[in-house]
Amino acid sequence: MTTIPISWYLAVAAALFTIGAVTVFVKRNAIVMLLGIEVMLNAANLTAVTFSSYFRELGGQILVFFVMVVAAAEAAVGLAIIVLLFRHRETLNVDEAQLLKL
Amino acid sequence: MERALFLIFALTAIVAAFNILLRRHPLHSALALLVVLGALTGLYILLGAYFLAMMQVVIYAGAVLVLFLFVIMLLNIRAEEARLERRPFFRWLAVPFALLLGAETFYLVRTFEENPSPSGTSIGVTEAVGRELFTTYLLPFEVTSIVLLIAILGAVVLARRG
């Protein structure tokens, strides 16, 4: 099926995961931090699909399916929280969201 | 041919991921995430996971990313301004660490050159995944619907309170 070494895929996944993690660490905008989390989830998905495909075990792809569903749920709730945060504070900077109540 | 496609998709994904990090406007970051997702779809197809490639487009690009774009446009967010660097020293510390990580990855890629290369047809076709999903993983699949329901309820409750 494929002639590409497994480590190439894993290297791409590692790079993507690193970039996503740096996005979460560096950015202070809540939406962009969520985008970084999505990148990290996708990197993990790529790893799972790679191993699933190379070892011919379907469980990895099922796992990725569930990760996608949970990511969709997480994005919905996270963005609802972000909208609320913005309504209350007029900012998306997570450094300024220090208090649970105004 | 296959390696060329792999390199195209992989480089696209990584460059777009850097774009997410480097852009100041969240809208640009979200659109860069779309490119990452598209490139990953290509990689999934190369890996033979056709069902997941379709799901990637439908769920991530079709639902999650549109939600992100909707919220960004709803809130009318401006580009963030550059902040003052508190400890500029750490910025230079990042370069050797990045080089170290890159060298490590390169070493691993070279080391694991001989690895299992599967033969035969790909396993990620829709029929196989669907069969597995509705037999072995039936209970988790049903629990997924509860997760989604609770997420919808949570989002609605949060949005109404404002």
The CATH number assigned to the domain holding B7 equals: 1.20.120.1200
**Bridge partners of residue A29, in order along the sequence:** A93
Q: Which of B129, B14, B93, B130 is nearest to A39 (CA)?
A: B14
Q: How far apart are CA A86 and CA B6, in angstroms?
A: 40
The beta-strand segments (E) located in chain B are none
Residue B95 has pLDDT above 90, yes or no: no
- Residue A29 has phi, psi (to 5 degrees) of -85, 125
**Do B21 and B100 lie in a common domain?**
no
Q: Which residues contact B53 (CB under 8 A, 6 or more apart)?
A: B41, B42, B44, B45
pLDDT digits (tens, 9 = 90+) for B39-79: 999 999 999 889 999 999 999 888 899 999 999 998 887 77
**Do B61 and B127 lie in a common domain?**
yes
**Do B10 and B71 lie in a common domain?**
yes
Residue B115 banded pLDDT, cuts 50, 70, 90: low
**Do B101 and B155 lie in a common domain?**
no
Q: In angstroms, what CA-CA distances link B1 with A2, A3, B7?
A: 11, 10, 10
Question: In chain A, which residue's Cα lies nearest the Cα of B70?
Answer: A79
- For residue B120, what pLDDT is reported? 56
Q: Is the pTM of this model over 0.90?
A: no
CA angle B79, B82, B84 (to 5 degrees): 150
Total of domains in chain B: 2
Residues 130-149 of B with CB under 8 A from A: 132-133, 136-137, 140, 144, 147-148
**B68 located within any domain:** yes
**Do B141 and B66 lie in a common domain?**
yes
CB A12 within 8 A of CB A56: no
ipTM attached to this prediction: 0.90
**Do B53 and B90 lie in a common domain?**
no
**Do B32 and B99 lie in a common domain?**
no
Judge: B128–A9 Cβ closer than 8 Å, yes or no: no
**B117 located within any domain:** no
**Do B93 and B132 lie in a common domain?**
no
The beta-strand segments (E) located in B5-161 are none
Cβ contacts (< 8 Å) between B59 and chain A: which residues? 68-69, 71-72
**B62 located within any domain:** yes
**B66 located within any domain:** yes
**B128 located within any domain:** yes
**Do B60 and B134 lie in a common domain?**
yes
Range of the domain at B149: 2-75+122-161
**B150 located within any domain:** yes
B30's tokens: 């979200």
- For residue B24, what pLDDT is reported? 87
- For residue B160, what pLDDT is reported? 81
**Do B143 and B71 lie in a common domain?**
yes
Residue A7 has pLDDT above 70, yes or no: yes
DSSP string, A7-46: HHHHHHHHHHHHHHHHHHHH--BHHHHHHHHHHHHHHHHH
- For residue B140, what pLDDT is reported? 93
Angle between helices A59-89 and B138-161 in degrees, nearest 10? 10
**Do B30 and B103 lie in a common domain?**
no
Residue B131 has pLDDT above 80, yes or no: yes
**Do B96 and B24 lie in a common domain?**
no
Judge: A35–B33 Cβ closer than 8 Å, yes or no: yes
Residue B125 has pLDDT above 80, yes or no: yes
- For residue B106, what pLDDT is reported? 81
Closest partner residue to A23 among B21, B68, B105, by Cβ? B21
**B80 located within any domain:** no
Percent of chain B with pLDDT over 90: 48
Residue B114 has pLDDT above 70, yes or no: no
**B21 located within any domain:** yes
Cβ contacts (< 8 Å) between B21 and chain A: which residues? 19, 22-23, 26-27, 36
